[in-house]
Structure 1
Amino acid sequence: MFKKLSVLAITFVLLLGCLPMLSAQAAGNATAKQPGNSNPLMDHKLGADPFALTYNGRVYIYMSSDAYVYNSNGTVKDNDFSALNKINVISSADMVNWTDHGAIPVAGANNVNGSAGIAKWASLSWAPSAAVKKINGQDKFFLYFANGASGIGVLTANSPIGPWSDPLGKALVTGSTPGMSGVTWLFDPAVLVDDDGSGYLYAGGGIPNTSDPASIASPKTARVLRLGADMTSIVGSASTIDAPYMFEDSGIHKYGGKYYYSYCFNFSGTHPAAYPAGEIGYMVSNSPMGPFTYTGHFLKNPYTFFGVGGNNHHAVFNFNNQWYVVYHAQTVAKAVLGDGKGYRSPHINKLVHNSNGTIQEVQGDMAGIAQIANLNPYTRVEAETIGWNAGITTERTQAAGGPVSNMNVTNINNGDWVAVGNADFGSSGASSFKANVASATGGGKIEIRLDSATGPLVGTLNVPNTGGAQSWQEVQTTVSNAAGVHRLYLVFTGSGSGNLFNFDYWQFSTGGDGGTTPPPVSKVEAEDMTLSGTYAGKITSPFSGVALYGNDDAAAFNQYYAYGTHNFSVRGASNNSSTARVDLLIGGVNVGSFNFSGTTPSVQTLTNVAHATGNQEVKLVVTTDNGSWDAYVDYIEWSQ
């Protein structure tokens, strides 16, 4: 991420854009993410410097925050980075429909986020990265960010969307940290948790002397630091990564037992063909601490793909056994303003490793990734889960329930809509639809349409005046002819001016009672499963089930799934006071974990788990956790 305004004139205008709240577009028209395309990931907001974390069947994208900055005459001016004090989060189980989790108010100095600012010492939050690690039997999440170009901070949470806290009350890494001397810009952190649980942090950038060809070619401003077991401390001294033509944007991933450090080339001076300016290059090592050997490049400057350039920022990640790269480009701003002006949006395309370990050139485009799993419309879906939209924005909500920092859709005008891709209504179809809504005006209607904003109308929901914009009421209506797999469009209509109503969540039902009938539940007793491993066996206490004693023990069965999303529950216990972890594998893919603390049986649940369809092996595998391997399993059950 580029932060030095003094070099804005170098070849490209290097800009830091992030997630602004956009004003409503013309009713009925998508902005930049056209129906059928997956890029940009969203267009009701922007987002820069994206980093991906995969967890329990979802991809979480963390981005620097931003808002359009205006001239005195009301026109949008070039991004001046004045709102870079939050981190925005979206997530998806299918790579098309993204849930907006809002903004994390990171910076707390100078009251920039009011009393909500978390890191009271920081005035900025740039280029986040995130990691998860099990500590004391519980998954802990770590969010690293740059306080401008002067240091790296860290926040912690018990879930990937918070709530977050500042465990140190100060920066984790500064210029005085051993080994950090000589780093021009101390920013752009990237984090890796290795297979053995060890953590590593990569950061740095800049050119010590832009008039010196040697300094341009070998700036030596990238660093790698070993993190402590708590992920919030530094062990020893940082090591220098001698990355040729290094500018910014540290990235790290592990593939085939090798460590791949990737970064953005600088724009200064004359570059040999092997180091093209403004592109993403990479180095490879046998160790996370290096030394790294330069190998090649794999992501061109966004200008090549989209006709609008600026800087380049990326992260490589694996999801469901496929490699991807998330990066930013000024596509939404170009569509809105006719010129990027430094405001950018997240995109994802596939990344391929060759058999010799090199990386193929990524092909950026607006098509992006095809939807990898159908959406289940028979579970609660947040209204801010959006594949495509026209006209709306999102905001923090006061509605009860929902995820941490729950959002609602707002700025709803006549003709606006939101849509999701590939909702699977099944062969019998839906019979009712309910939504949680709030309105301080005359309300309006939600037209339920299939395949397009003008497609077949299968139901209409009347939204009343509920007594306030945050006074929530669940309303419902009947639905007909909604069967099979379709894009679902919720089209908003009404005669009032301004915001017709706010929208929190929606859900379809196959029952005739407006959605009060619970979905059917399927159940398999553990003692009826096929056991494998050294010590696995059946038990009669504390229940009739199985005991899985070692980390190769498993209980499995085969199941046909017509739908790609379910809620899974397992009843189990540990054999002692410690925590026992049981992983759920479907078709060989780990889709989540159940953690049982103590000997008293309990039911643990994973919701909205995306998985492969068709005939699949379902396996429960015990995992070593805090020295305790032994888990008792009673049954597994699942529902839509």
Structure 2
Amino acid sequence: MRLLKRLTMAGLLAGFGVGALADNPISAYHYLADPGAAADDTYFYVITDSDDPAASNANGYNIKALYGFRTKDMKNWTDFGIIYDARKVDGIGDIWASGIAVNPNDHRLYIVFPDGGGGGIGLIGADSIAGPWTNPVSGNKKLINNWGGGLADCDGIGWCFDPAIFFDDDGQGYFTFGGGESNSRPAANNNNNIFNIYKLNKDMKGFDVGSKTQLKIGGPKAMEASYIHKYKGNYYLSYSTADLRIAYGMSKNPMGPYEYKGIFMGNPNINGQNINANNNNHHGIAEFKGHWYVAYHDRRIANGYDGLEKIPADDGKANPVPAFHRSVSVDEFFYNGDGTMKELTFTKEGPKQIENFDPYDWYPALTSSKQKGIRSRSNWTPGKVAEHLLLPLSTKESWIRVSGVDFGTAATGFVVQAASAADGNKIEIHSGSATGTLAGTCTLKNTGNKNTFAENSCEVTGLKGIVDEIFLVFKGSQDSTMAIKAWGFEGSGTTPPEPQKPYGEKAVTLPAKIEAEHYDIPGVGRGGDVDSYSDNEKANQGDAKFREDQGVDIVEGGTGMAIGYTASGEWLEYTVEVPEDGDYAIKASASTGMESASFCFLADGKAIGDTITVPQTGEDWSVYKEFEGGKAKLTKGTHVIRLVITGDNVNVDWFSLGEVSEVGLKPAVKFQANASRVYRVYSVSGKLLGTVELVGKKAAEALQSAGFNKGVYMLKSVDGHKTFMTSVAR
């Protein structure tokens, strides 16, 4: 389940929820790499460099420009094309992996970029991701220069590149850079000293040279890509390792020292299949609307992973070398209860869409959630916003898709700004699929060439309310005879989301005992007030056959049913009615087969009572015990109570607020010890690993005897009467 809300505590629960899903990579029509990420209150931003100039048989990188993307909903991305081009800027060479951040002092975007493969670090700023981008540093200098001309030198760092930029809550800015190794700056296991950090001046015209700090960190041998972000008072230094993973450390100070904590990202793979040609990686991290996301690169287009169209290289040749033809993807990630980072799960789908798409705005042509049979072109000039065009391969299957579109009352028309060098070029608007229901057709005016643009409009029908997928399908008798600049729909009205509702349609009046499986009914639409639970697994692994259309894992046990297969950060919500102000005692019934697990409660986003720690109640989760959770100070009125899992693998049967009579409660479900002998063994992700027979041994002992390694496993009896989780300690 993956229904996340603006007050999300990052983590896992059991099952996945319903909702539109994005597609990785974010752009499937050219080769991009080395992303940086940032966000403000309106947009999530990604910048990339580009492998587009690299020949099909390239044996090295050919990187000349930065591209810019933004999204409001983490599903539909606007590609602004080239936002900065080293080929047209005096004084810099190639432009490689860069960092981006939003400055809270002046609300502008800033990018730190490397001058080629080690020539220094530059700084540019702009009011919009589209630009124009200019250098704010006094004297138009670089920040760092390996060969003179900057405010400081590279301080002995082997590779003077891969910068990142970070602004703290108080507005203080920082930038980092570094990579490789040298005689004076080593990179080795548990001895990495290849990154520097400096404080930026508030006016962004330079930095405090005297603030120089060498960022030393343990962990695996570092290679490049230092990155700093902050979460709940902790600072995180992440970096690319020599063995092609992303490691990290934590500190209470942005300038360190950082204590190594672990691996945040493995080399990108899905279901055991590497999607990165087992090659290098780079990452950018940012929080947006209560969620945490990481942008990274992989090689899934060049590898043709999952049926993706392999885009030819810049020289037109097919099947380019994957190592030097990368693509950029985005996934959501989570934290553990102690602030450490959970290892990222790479997905085909990408993040969930977090709000509806408004079709009644005016959008750059390359605004989409997925694409096929298109190319793009940027016309970039220093000091100007680039003109970025969509170029359809219109004799083939050629379209862009927009997802989660809220047409409200109804759309009446479609308008597109386009150039057409041929008669008969047209854009069809379909819903559902590229060949789905036809809503309208716009025939483009022949403008005589691809540099002269005209506005075209047509009527559309049948587009109202929230439509999951809209396809703009390009049709023509010749490729490369049209160029699309911008588009939008005409109409009025939006569809308000339907908020979550109490289970049974009526809020529970306190004092009351609430069954954990009776969480609120999810609302309809997208936004912060429609989700009643959060989980990052789609599969409903529960065996209770209750609310199976939703993602929460509900298992048999306790007084009948309980929530199970939980992980830190996941939550469920319950609407309650408080009759009068007062202190309401918290009690809950729970079980765990682990050494300990825990959960807590929030009321309208604020903590209430105490965190309930559950020690092992029995190896197979079937033994439930009652636990006290302190008192909740609640005011008269309607409130939303959130149950938050803070320690993995706890089953919660029920909780109560206030003193509640036990009369009429269902008896606990009792399992017969020998009712089931043969069990199927699954990983926590639901993959069948084999079977085991439990006769005369505890589950963990039987698994270990059968050759299962250390880890957590789910066991289901072959007769279907019993399911539980257990762990092998060694």
TM bucket normalised to smaller: 0.5 to 0.7
Show structure 1 runs of 5+ residues with no match.
1-34, 71-75, 267-276, 512-518, 523-559, 566-586, 589-640
**1:376 touches 1:563 (CA, 8 Å); kept in 2?**
no
Are 2:33 and 1:53 aligned? no
1:295 equivalent in structure 2: 261
Structure 1 285/341 Cα, relative in aligned 2: closer, same or farther at 3 Å?
closer
Q: 1:150 is aligned with what amino acid?
A: G
Alignment of 1:560-599 (within 5 A): none
Structure 1 502/360 Cα, relative in aligned 2: closer, same or farther at 3 Å?
same
Task: For 2:323 and 2:241, locate their aligned partners in 1 and report how far apart those are by CA, in whole Å.
Answer: 21
1:348 equivalent in structure 2: 330
Task: For 1:562 and 1:281, locate their aligned partners in 2 and report how far apart those are by CA, in whole Å.
Answer: 37
**1:38 touches 1:367 (CA, 8 Å); kept in 2?**
yes
1:510 equivalent in structure 2: 491
Give 1:563 deviation, angstroms.
8.1
**2:32 touches 2:52 (CA, 8 Å); kept in 1?**
no
2:436 equivalent in structure 1: 455
1:373 equivalent in structure 2: 355
2:407 equivalent in structure 1: 425
C-alpha distance after superposition, 1:245-296 (max 9, x if no partner): 2210111100111110000111xxxxxxxxxx22111111111111111111
Counterpart of 2:290 (choices 313, 316, 321) is 321
Are 2:241 and 1:265 aligned? yes
- Provide the aligned length of Structure 1 versus Structure 2: 458
What is the DSSP-based 3-state SS (H/G/I as helix, E as strand, rest coil) of the residue aligned with 1:341? helix
2:203 equivalent in structure 1: 230
Task: For 1:477 and 1:104, locate their aligned partners in 2 and report how far apart those are by CA, in whole Å.
Answer: 32
**1:178 touches 1:238 (CA, 8 Å); kept in 2?**
no
Structure 1 151/248 Cα, relative in aligned 2: closer, same or farther at 3 Å?
same
Structure 1 201/508 Cα, relative in aligned 2: closer, same or farther at 3 Å?
same
TM-score normalised per structure 2: 0.58
2:145 equivalent in structure 1: 174
C-alpha distance after superposition, 1:83-102 (max 9, x if no partner): x2211111111112111111
Q: 1:227 is aligned with what amino acid?
A: L
Give 1:213 deviation, angstroms.
9.7
Counterpart of 1:331 (choices 272, 277, 300) is 300
**2:187 touches 2:222 (CA, 8 Å); kept in 1?**
no
Structure 1 181/436 Cα, relative in aligned 2: closer, same or farther at 3 Å?
closer
Structure 1 473/479 Cα, relative in aligned 2: closer, same or farther at 3 Å?
same
**2:41 touches 2:289 (CA, 8 Å); kept in 1?**
no
Task: For 1:197 and 1:473, locate their aligned partners in 2 and report how far apart those are by CA, in whole Å.
Answer: 45
Structure 1 160/433 Cα, relative in aligned 2: closer, same or farther at 3 Å?
closer
1:309 equivalent in structure 2: 278
Are 2:255 and 1:255 aligned? no
Structure 1 230/59 Cα, relative in aligned 2: closer, same or farther at 3 Å?
same
Alignment of 1:211-230 (within 5 A): 215=188, 217-230=190-203
Task: For 1:122 and 1:103, locate their aligned partners in 2 and report how far apart those are by CA, in whole Å.
Answer: 16
2:369 equivalent in structure 1: 387
Q: 1:263 is aligned with what amino acid?
A: Y
Task: For 2:444 and 2:85, locate their aligned partners in 1 and report how far apart those are by CA, in whole Å.
Answer: 36
Give 1:55 deviation, angstroms.
2.4
1:364 equivalent in structure 2: 346
**2:175 touches 2:199 (CA, 8 Å); kept in 1?**
yes
Give 1:341 deviation, angstroms.
3.0
Give 1:52 deviation, angstroms.
0.7
2:131 equivalent in structure 1: 162
Q: Percent identity?
A: 33
C-alpha distance after superposition, 1:177-198 (max 9, x if no partner): 6684231111111111111111
Counterpart of 1:242 (choices 188, 204, 216) is 216
1:574 equivalent in structure 2: none
**1:437 touches 1:463 (CA, 8 Å); kept in 2?**
yes
**1:449 touches 1:488 (CA, 8 Å); kept in 2?**
yes
Structure 1 37/338 Cα, relative in aligned 2: closer, same or farther at 3 Å?
farther
**2:174 touches 2:197 (CA, 8 Å); kept in 1?**
yes
Give 1:79 deviation, angstroms.
5.0
**1:206 touches 1:219 (CA, 8 Å); kept in 2?**
no
Task: For 1:285 and 1:180, locate their aligned partners in 2 and report how far apart those are by CA, in whole Å.
Answer: 24
Task: For 1:45 and 1:214, locate their aligned partners in 2 and report how far apart those are by CA, in whole Å.
Answer: 34
C-alpha distance after superposition, 1:335-384 (max 9, x if no partner): 21275132111111121111111111111121211222111112222221
Are 2:58 and 1:78 aligned? yes
What is the DSSP-based 3-state SS (H/G/I as helix, E as strand, rest coil) of the residue aligned with 2:302? helix
Give 1:561 deviation, angstroms.
12
Counterpart of 1:467 (choices 418, 436, 448) is 448
**2:143 touches 2:152 (CA, 8 Å); kept in 1?**
no
Q: 1:350 is aligned with what amino acid?
A: E
Structure 1 474/180 Cα, relative in aligned 2: closer, same or farther at 3 Å?
closer
Task: For 1:213 and 1:237, locate their aligned partners in 2 and report how far apart those are by CA, in whole Å.
Answer: 21
C-alpha distance after superposition, 1:295-316 (max 9, x if no partner): 1111001256534221021122
**2:83 touches 2:385 (CA, 8 Å); kept in 1?**
no
Task: For 2:358 and 2:282, locate their aligned partners in 1 and report how far apart those are by CA, in whole Å.
Answer: 33
Task: For 1:131 and 1:54, locate their aligned partners in 2 and report how far apart those are by CA, in whole Å.
Answer: 7
2:103 equivalent in structure 1: 133
C-alpha distance after superposition, 1:454-505 (max 9, x if no partner): 101111111121233222221212211122323011111122x232322122
Give 1:163 deviation, angstroms.
0.5
Task: For 2:378 and 2:120, locate their aligned partners in 1 and report how far apart those are by CA, in whole Å.
Answer: 30
2:51 equivalent in structure 1: 66
1:638 equivalent in structure 2: none
Task: For 1:296 and 1:562, locate their aligned partners in 2 and report how far apart those are by CA, in whole Å.
Answer: 38
**2:32 touches 2:328 (CA, 8 Å); kept in 1?**
yes
**2:73 touches 2:356 (CA, 8 Å); kept in 1?**
yes
Task: For 2:373 and 2:524, locate their aligned partners in 1 and report how far apart those are by CA, in whole Å.
Answer: 36
**1:64 touches 1:125 (CA, 8 Å); kept in 2?**
yes
Task: For 1:213 and 1:507, locate their aligned partners in 2 and report how far apart those are by CA, in whole Å.
Answer: 54
Task: For 2:205 and 2:282, locate their aligned partners in 1 and report how far apart those are by CA, in whole Å.
Answer: 25
2:649 equivalent in structure 1: none
C-alpha distance after superposition, 1:513-535 (max 9, x if no partner): xxxxxx79x9xxxxxxxxxxxxx
Task: For 1:134 and 1:256, locate their aligned partners in 2 and report how far apart those are by CA, in whole Å.
Answer: 18
Q: 2:265 is aligned with what amino acid?
A: L
**2:412 touches 2:491 (CA, 8 Å); kept in 1?**
yes
1:446 equivalent in structure 2: 427
CA RMSD, 1 decimal: 3.2
Task: For 2:239 and 2:26, locate their aligned partners in 1 and report how far apart those are by CA, in whole Å.
Answer: 22
2:170 equivalent in structure 1: 196
Give 1:37 deviation, angstroms.
4.6
Counterpart of 1:486 (choices 445, 462, 468) is 468
Structure 1 447/79 Cα, relative in aligned 2: closer, same or farther at 3 Å?
farther
Structure 1 295/410 Cα, relative in aligned 2: closer, same or farther at 3 Å?
same
TM-score normalised per structure 1: 0.66
Higher CA-based Rg? 2
2:687 equivalent in structure 1: none
Q: 2:252 is aligned with what amino acid?
A: N
What is the DSSP-based 3-state SS (H/G/I as helix, E as strand, rest coil) of the residue aligned with 2:460? strand
**1:443 touches 1:500 (CA, 8 Å); kept in 2?**
no
1:635 equivalent in structure 2: none
Task: For 1:36 and 1:214, locate their aligned partners in 2 and report how far apart those are by CA, in whole Å.
Answer: 40
Show structure 2 runs of 5+ residues with no match.
1-19, 305-309, 311-318, 497-522, 529-603, 606-730
Q: 2:197 is aligned with what amino acid?
A: V
2:91 equivalent in structure 1: 121
What is the DSSP-based 3-state SS (H/G/I as helix, E as strand, rest coil) of the residue aligned with 1:458? strand
Task: For 1:318 and 1:47, locate their aligned partners in 2 and report how far apart those are by CA, in whole Å.
Answer: 22
Q: 1:102 is aligned with what amino acid?
A: G
What is the DSSP-based 3-state SS (H/G/I as helix, E as strand, rest coil) of the residue aligned with 1:80? coil
Give 1:562 deviation, angstroms.
7.5
What is the DSSP-based 3-state SS (H/G/I as helix, E as strand, rest coil) of the residue aligned with 2:223? strand
Task: For 2:144 and 2:72, locate their aligned partners in 1 and report how far apart those are by CA, in whole Å.
Answer: 33
**1:324 touches 1:349 (CA, 8 Å); kept in 2?**
yes
Counterpart of 2:249 (choices 267, 278, 283) is 283
